[in-house]
Amino acid sequence: MGVSGLIYRIMEKRNIMKLIKRCLVFMAICVCTVLACSCNKSKDKDYIDLNNGESGITIKGKKVIYQIKEEFNKDYYDKDDIEKQVEDEVDEFVKAKGKDSAELEEFEVEDNSCHVVIEFAGMDKFCEYVNECEKPIEDFHIFKGKYGNIDREIFGEGENLIDAKIATKTEFEDDVPVNSKITAVDSDTKVLVLNKALKVKTEDDIKAVSMGVVVKDNIAATNGDMCYIVYK
């Protein structure tokens, strides 16, 4: 199951497994047709490159673009049915949270993968969607703003920060060089703090991260622990 378990969640809602015996052949043909004819729109857009089971966010101004990529390799998966349920889920969220709070940008199936893109009006709406629709085991928390405005009771103190230039792996056999440890952060410094495994991309340059976060091509891969990403 992928990071968000989106396909599993939708199938559970619809109890689609009851339809397998009756619809198996039709669905297999349908999926094959989709895979053959799907146009790869995501290649033309500035999305994060994801593997199956990964999700990511791109932050552009106040907007959050949420990507989910999961395996779509079962004969009984029906692309049209699952897409309709995702659309309904987003529509229900919009009705509850207000117009323009979220929009389904893309639902694409290609090469045994399902790629979903949802755009949220703000970080708060994205956080609400994860907590209310994905229902993680642990409450999801995310903060974007100035270091001095962080709620320490929720997000902690941001200890073990290291220079993003050396954040190439999750663990270090030797101690991190002293000059690569960040011991003080100005209160006006921009930070993103979260406790979900995501690939994170913003318009700003990443300067420092919590140890365990991997940075490549200015994209931070978090591990699900509460972690800090410091930007210039």
**How would you classify residue 98: left for phi > 0, otherwise alpha for psi between -120 and 50, otherwise beta?**
left
Instruction: Identify the pLDDT of residue 144.
Output: 93
Query: Cβ(164)–Cβ(207) under 8 Å?
Result: yes
Instruction: Identify the pLDDT of residue 13.
Output: 64
Query: Cβ(113)–Cβ(69) under 8 Å?
Result: yes
Residues with Cβ within 8 Å of residue 77, at least 6 apart in sequence: 7, 11, 27, 31
- Which string of b and e fits 107-138 if b means at least 16 CB within 10 Å? bbbbeebbbbbbbbbebebbbbbbeebbeeee
d(CA 72, CA 79): 9
The dihedrals phi and psi of 75, each to the nearest 5 degrees, come to: -60, -30
Residue that has been written with the tokens 């500035």 in this structure:
46
Instruction: Identify the pLDDT of residue 88.
Output: 96
SS3 171: coil
CA distances from 226 to 158, 170, 209 (A): 9, 14, 11
Instruction: Identify the pLDDT of residue 180.
Output: 87
Query: Cβ(42)–Cβ(92) under 8 Å?
Result: no
- In this prediction, the residues of the chain whose per-residue pLDDT falls under 50 are 1-2, 16-43
Instruction: Identify the pLDDT of residue 57.
Output: 98
Instruction: Identify the pLDDT of residue 197.
Output: 96
d(CA 112, CA 89): 23
Map out the domains of the chain as residue ranges.
6-134, 142-231
Query: Cβ(114)–Cβ(72) under 8 Å?
Result: yes
SS3 95: helix
- Which string of b and e fits 140-170 if b means at least 16 CB within 10 Å? bbbbbeebeebeeeebbebeebbbbebbeee
Bridge partners of residue 34, in order along the sequence? none
Instruction: Identify the pLDDT of residue 76.
Output: 78
Instruction: Identify the pLDDT of residue 122.
Output: 96
d(CA 47, CA 114): 14
> Token pair of 182, please?
């960040």
The predicted-structure confidence for 93-149, as pLDDT tens digits, reads as follows 999 999 999 999 999 999 889 999 999 999 999 999 999 999 998 899 999 999 999
Task: State how beta strands 190-194 and 219-221 pair.
Answer: unpaired
Instruction: Identify the pLDDT of residue 15.
Output: 54
Query: Cβ(11)–Cβ(82) under 8 Å?
Result: yes
> Token pair of 227, please?
């972690």
